[in-house]
Structure 1
């Protein structure tokens, strides 16, 4: 039995901890904050309850496997998980309004043909079919295997296929998601639909490889799922599973140093001077912080993917709204209100030059309106969450409370396309910015990591789970295979496999 020290109590950290404990190891988790779950937080006030992180799960098989492998109770026995249907509603800048059914290709085709025009559904379906080829080519090396230096060159090539030959010459595959949308979807509304999946993860469609089309493929194929009572319930269930497996948690316990002995990771030192010896250390915080915990020594090998310190990912601006009035029957769980100024929004989020990143007054807004009595004091009220992808703290001063409230006014005004009379129904609101995310999770600039993607010469990969220092491993959204609820769970599985099976382990079978 080995002693394992885990830094952080986010979803990737707890996924690794539960699996390692079941394998017979003694696992201790050290979290600098006051609770578990990382970015999967919760805010409650006056009987209203809100998720402050991801609002849906798009690949539940990851957590089904985790719960099967770590205890008797399945995921569905631990939380009430159900598919939301429709999966999403989209309100485009020209007023076009379409609701897309959950995990139904034929239903999506019919809905798009009706709302956008004949042939629109088939064009979308053909693109998703090409995205399925990306999924088939990358599922194992990107999601089920540890990232190894010898695979980076191959993973730097985008597997998105060229469209079928038409005419005398075969066309090359598109280089970016933007190019795929323009060439294959034709209609700006369909392009906005495709690009909104990338933007939701903080990816710039002008630079992301065309293979990013795998994101809507995953959602359309595996469905959109919600936990009754809020997605925070998934974090609570995983925490309880860890406790049942005798994982020890210490909160308010900031790790300031990773100990080394005989050329191996040998434990951690806390801010209060406490030393906890260990046979292996799992760091589930931003890898950019790890060299500082090693006295300035970087644990990367030659050829490894390294964290991009100083270039934080985009963050999330969130407005939590307590509303008077009943949630209308038939209201869609998730609505995306698309910006009328795509170029301006992308420049504001990602920047096209120094000093250009700033809050955009008419952003793309995701509106979450769960049909969940547990989120509201009674049926005469409604809890609504608005989320916008924005530039991180640093390029934008998100500590300025007055500016944040003013920006919240813009976000609410955009959301009224989905919720008429929103301002008149508001009892109170709570605003969360990337600065709040940074304070809660320690992520640089409050950035939210995106899932890894093949292509782009490896620019969309994350640091691997094993490091140059024996006994030191990386988990969580900032490590391979990247951000998102499902991917964080996968990182925990990969780290546990490396520790239990050894450095030559090639991934789940």
Structure 2
């Protein structure tokens, strides 16, 4: 039995902790805040409840596998999982709208044809077929296997089979999402639809590789799911599974150093000077590991950690509303911006968009409202991290909130008149809760020449591993669960571990 110290109680860290405990190891999780879940948080006030992190779940099979491998009770016995239908309603800048059925390519094609006309549904359906090919080519090496020393093969050939496009005397193939939109989808609304998936993950659609087509594919292929009571209930279930497997949690414990003895990680040192010995250390946020361990945790030839604040964050507005929820309302509505170029300034110049794309979540969940005469609603927009934009300046957050509400009123008329109160959460809140520099949110790993990978789970320091959204295979609830499975496999089975099954 090995002693294992885990830094942080985020979703990936807890997924690793539960698996390692089941393998017979003594696992202690050190969390600097007073709760678990990382960015998966809940705001509760006056009988209202709000998800302030992810509001929906894709690829629930990742967490089903976690619960199958760590106990007798399956995931569905512990949380209520519901497929939302439609998966989302989309409001485009020209006033057209489309509600896309959940996990039905044929239904999505029909809905887009009816809403947009001109063969739009067929073009989107053909795009999803190509996106599936990219998914099939990258799923195993990018998501289910450790990042091997020859990781460059993932950034070689573009896995998305783009359609040849003749331009002047040249034939080209789309290399970015923006080019897929312009050359293959050929409709500004379909282009906005595609870009919206990238923005939701904090990815710049203008520069994202064509392989980012897997992001909408995951939703269409595997469905979009809601956890009754909010996504925080999923975090609670994982935490309680850890406790049931005798994982120990120490809250309010900030790690300031990872001691190294005989060339390998030997434990953790806390801010109060306490040193806890360990045979293995599972860290989070590889960018921070460089300041905690002697030497460079990632050597030459490895994927080096990128500064976290080069990525954007999220603005979340929680609205407590008077009046009953419209029974026909979609769970999620995406209100697309009319200023697509201005919106991309958040990536180019670190300035928030004047007309943001806003995701409006209206869960039909009695657990999140005091009674049926009220409604809880969450607005989310992708924004620059706090190190690139001063979210703490007087009036800045409120001014952007007003712009988000203005956008949301396209989906929910007279929204302002219904607001009892609101809570605004900027990247500064994300930074406080997760420790990520500037409150940035990690994007998923993407393959291809223009892709971006995250540092490997096994570091250059023996006994030290990295887990969570800032390490392989990147950000997002499913990816965090995959990261936990990979770290557990590398520790339990050793360097010969070939990946999750």
> Could you say whether these structures have the same fold, taking a TM-score greater than 0.5 normalized by the shorter chain as the test?
yes
Deviation of 1:165 after TM superposition, in Å, equals 9.0
- Equivalent residue number for residue 390 of structure 2: 397
Aligned: 1:473 with 2:470: no
Q: Report the equivalent of 1:443.
A: 436
Structure 2 counterpart of 1:8? 8
Structure 2 residue aligned with 1:350, among 347, 351, 363? Answer: 347
1:247 lines up with 2:239 in the alignment: no
Number of residue pairs matched? 501
Conserved? CA contact 1:164–1:170, under 8 Å: no
User: Which residue does 1:41 correspond to in 2?
Assistant: 41
Bigger drift between 146-155 and 193-202 goes to 146-155
Once residues 68 and 505 of structure 1 are traced to their aligned partners in structure 2, the CA distance between those partners, rounded to angstroms, is 20
Q: List per-residue Cα deviations over 1:36-56 (Å, max 9, x = no partner).
A: 000000100000000110000
1:227-267 Cα offsets, whole Å, 9 max, x none, are 00001000000000000000000000000000111111010
Question: For residue 359 of structure 2, what is the aligned residue in structure 1?
Answer: 366
SS of the residue corresponding to residue 290 of structure 2 reads helix
Deviation at 1:277, TM superposition (A): 0.3
Within 5 A, what are the aligned runs for 1:167-182? 171-182=171-182
Q: Structure 1 154/450 Cα, relative in aligned 2: closer, same or farther at 3 Å?
A: closer
Matches within 5 A, 1:42-57: 42-57=42-57
User: Paired residue for 2:499?
Assistant: 507
Give the distance between the partners of 1:435 and 1:152, measured in 2 at CA. Answer: 35
Would the aligned equivalents of 1:163 and 1:171 in 2 still touch at CA under 8 Å? no
Tell me if structure 2 keeps the 8 A contact 1:312–1:445: no
The answer to whether the 8 A contact 1:98-1:112 is kept is yes
Q: Following TM superposition, by how much is the alpha carbon of 1:310 offset from its aligned partner in structure 2, in angstroms?
A: 6.4
The answer to whether the 8 Å contact 2:142/2:154 transfers is no
Q: CA deviation at 1:312?
A: 2.8
Matched, 1:463 2:455: yes
3-state SS, counterpart of residue 326 of structure 1 = coil
Q: 1:495 aligns with which of 468, 487, 492?
A: 487
> 1:118, CA displacement in angstroms?
3.5
Query: Aligned partners of 1:47, 1:496: CA distance in 2, in Å?
Result: 39
Partner of 1:292: 291
Distance 1:487 1:174 in 2: 26
How far off its partner does 1:440 sit?
Answer: 1.1
- Structure 2's unaligned 5+ residue stretches are none
Provide the C-alpha distance between the structure 1 equivalents of 2:66 and 2:356, rounded to a whole number of angstroms. 37
Contact 2:469/2:476 (8 A) holds in 1? yes
Contact persistence 2:343–2:356 (CA under 8 A): yes
What's the secondary structure of 1:453's corresponding residue?
coil
CA distance in 2, matches of 1:350, 1:368: 24
Deviation of 1:422 after TM superposition, in Å, equals 0.5
- Which secondary structure state, in structure 2, belongs to the residue aligned with residue 20 of structure 1? helix
Which stretch of structure 1 is more off in the superposition, 446-455 or 307-316?
Answer: 307-316
Task: Provide the residue aligned with 2:160 in structure 1.
Answer: 160
| Residue in structure 1 matched with residue 196 of structure 2 by the alignment | 196
Q: Give me the whole-angstrom Cα distance separating, in 1, the residues matched to 2:198 and 2:464.
A: 32
Provide the C-alpha distance between the structure 1 equivalents of 2:122 and 2:244, rounded to a whole number of angstroms. Answer: 49
* Local SS of the residue matching 2:150: helix
Q: CA deviation at 1:309?
A: 2.0
What are the superposed Cα offsets for residues 56-110 of structure 1, whole Å, 9 maximum, x if unpaired?
A: 0011000000000000000100100110000000000100011000001111011
SS in 2 for 1:292: coil
Aligned to 1:221: 221
Distance in 2 separating the partners of 1:387 and 1:145: 32
TM-score norm. by structure 1 comes to 0.96
Q: 1:288 touches 1:307 (CA, 8 Å); kept in 2?
A: yes
Whole-Å separation in 1 of the counterparts to 2:433 and 2:165:
51
3-state secondary structure, aligned to 1:69: helix
Question: Would the alpha carbon gap of residues 9 and 310 (structure 1) be closer, same or farther in structure 2, given more than 3 Å must change?
Answer: closer
Other-structure match for 1:22: 22
Pairing 1:301–2:299 present: yes
The answer on whether the counterparts of 1:476 and 1:483 sit within 8 Å (CA) in structure 2 is: yes
- Name the structure 1 match of 2:146: 146
- The alignment yields a C-alpha RMSD, in angstroms, of 1.6
Instruction: Work out the CA distance in 1 between the residues paired with 2:162 and 2:350.
Output: 34
* CA–CA distance in structure 1, aligned partners of residues 399 and 119 of structure 2: 42
> Which blocks of at least 5 consecutive residues in structure 1 are unaligned?
none
Checking the alignment, whether the CA contact within 8 Å between 2:309 and 2:439 is kept in structure 1 is no
- In the TM superposition, what is the alpha-carbon distance from 1:171 to its structure 2 partner? 4.4
Cα deviation for residue 157 of structure 1 reads 3.1
Other-structure match for 2:421: 428
Q: Is the 8 A contact 2:309 2:440 kept in 1?
A: no
- C-alpha separation in 1, matches of 2:308 and 2:407: 31
User: What is the rounded CA distance, in whole Å, between the counterparts of 2:12 and 2:149 in structure 1?
Assistant: 22
1:179 aligned counterpart, secondary structure: helix
